[in-house]
Structure 1
Amino acid sequence: MFFRRYKFMHGFIGEFFGTMILTALGCGIGAGINLKNTYNRSQNWLFVSLGWGLAITFGVYVAGTLGSQGFINPAITLGSAIFGLFPWSNVLPYLAGEFLGAFVGAALVLIQYYPHFKASKNEAEGNSVGIFATAPAINSPIFNLLSEIIASFIFIFTLLNLGNFTQGLKPLIVGLIITVIGMALGGTTGFAVNPARDWGPRLAYTILPVPNKGKANWAYAWVPMVGPIIGGILAAALRVVLM
């Protein structure tokens, strides 16, 4: 809106935000693999980041084919609605679908791996809420919140610049965005960037009969709820300002 009046600024604005995202993600990868106590230092982190990226890809394909806009993330739904990019009349059905879908997806994992949950007696053997939900690598609530805001903002702002991201190969691009977000910015909190992806599975872990389960860590759960929503709102606001 504002910047439409000043076309000579378009080059600056585009180059500024493009280079900001490039540098945040590139340097984020460097920080993640070098600094102590990040998830990135695990030899499995690339596997995790790539796996979640592919999961997002196929989720967007299915959602788009079945008639939605493929948000599959309440932070995108709410941020888009607040700034007029999405009708409020669709918000409640989208939110219900996102949270319930995440819950059922987690339940399917419990069924798939049930004998392995029984064989894994405790957290030391891998049986923890971390299979389903996120947790900070270093517990620092304010910085954990900021981590989720920053990662969610960069993810959703990039997403909103793709147009209709359910079409063609764009879902694959969405998955690649998630992969690089995980590699660059996910080593601090496990990159929820999606309240449904965290709360649905965390609730499933809490109320379903998971063998040998431990604590669901609801004391932390406000971070992956609030952080992505703030990041989504900021991303949608900036997208509207720059339109």
Structure 2
Amino acid sequence: MSPYIAEIVGTAILMLLGNGVVANVLLKDSKGNGGGWITITWGWGIAVFTAVYVVGQYSGAHINPAVTLGLAFGGLFDWVQVPFYIGAQILGAAIGSLLVWLAYKDHFAKEENADLILASHSTAPAIRKYPSNVMTEAIGTLMLVFGVFYLASPGFIDANGEFLETIVIDGAEVGFGLGSLSALPVGLLVLGIGLSLGGPTGYAINPARDLGPRIMHAILPIPGKRDSDWAYSWVPIVGPVIGAALAAGLFLIL
């Protein structure tokens, strides 16, 4: 699987399971209706874990333009690949959102609250104050990308102060990572961010996660939907980019 296809697949999985849990909790007559914030945050954590587990070996499973930019800012990713990764992530997010609509099509059709229909696609602030909303998204993304810098390269510091990712035991090179299960800490990190920092803005912390589904909300034939709130759409883009840059700077300083 090419890394770009992997990013499309991974981000589609992320959105299918992530926005899927939102639709399950919010939409009328769904069996999960009223499941609450804890259900949503756990669903997103599992969505990240699953997406990273499936495609991590092929693309590094960025599945988030903020992660791609943060790694590039930190010198750990080739800038030439950045626009291709971001394009793949936005496309994958749109595909995942389409699949959620298909799965919950009858529930979207019955839902009378247009705000809940939009919320099952993209994020919105609890209190609309753009400077505060940008700051919240930047802080959440700072925590995400800063964590990824360390979670992505497990190892230890030896007696000489050198960082080691592998050692040789009985003539064989042994790594310190968890293999594909290294996806688990990232999923738990996203769970923690949602539980702790998700209240003000719904913790997009991922421009593709918000933009791709917002586009799908605008073009899908959903009865009774409202406008797609494009006035807010820049916040889940600018905030995460700022947070990614700050995380890379902090990582380089430390």
Work out whether the TM-score is over 0.5.
Answer: yes
TM-score, normalized by length of structure 2? Answer: 0.74
1:196 pairs with 2:185: no
2:69 aligned partner: 78
Which one-letter code corresponds to 2:48 in the other structure?
I
Deviation at 1:168, TM superposition (A): 3.4
- Encode CA deviations 1:39-62: one digit per residue, 9 max, x unaligned: xxx961111111101001111112
Relative to its length, the structure with more helix (as a share) is: 1
Deviation at 1:82, TM superposition (A): 2.6
Choose between structure 1 and 2 for higher RCO, CA contacts under 8 A separated by at least 6 residues.
Answer: 1
Distance (whole Å) between structure 2 residues aligned to residue 183 and residue 86 of structure 1:
29
Q: Which runs of 5+ in 1 are unaligned?
A: 1-41
Q: Is the 8 A contact 1:58 1:171 kept in 2?
A: yes
2:45 aligned partner: 53
Deviation at 1:158, TM superposition (A): 1.1
TM-score, normalized by length of structure 1? Answer: 0.77
- Encode CA deviations 1:14-61: one digit per residue, 9 max, x unaligned: xxxxxxxxxxxxxxxxxxxxxxxxxxxx96111111110100111111
Question: Paired residues, what number?
Answer: 198
1:63 pairs with 2:55: yes
CA-based RMSD: 1.7
1:130 pairs with 2:119: yes
1:146 pairs with 2:146: no
Matches within 5 A, 1:101-116: 101-116=92-107
Deviation at 1:213, TM superposition (A): 1.2
Instruction: Tell me the secondary structure at the aligned position of residue 161 of structure 1.
Output: helix
1:161 aligned partner: 150
1:118 pairs with 2:113: no
Distance (whole Å) between structure 2 residues aligned to residue 182 and residue 100 of structure 1:
24
Relative to its length, the structure with more strand (as a share) is: 2
Instruction: Tell me the secondary structure at the aligned position of residue 151 of structure 2.
Output: coil
Q: Is the 8 A contact 1:63 1:72 kept in 2?
A: no
Instruction: Tell me the secondary structure at the aligned position of residue 150 of structure 1.
Output: helix
Q: Is the 8 A contact 2:204 2:236 kept in 1?
A: yes
Deviation at 1:177, TM superposition (A): 0.5
Percent identical among aligned pairs is: 43
Given candidates 80, 86, 95, the residue that maps to 1:89 is 80
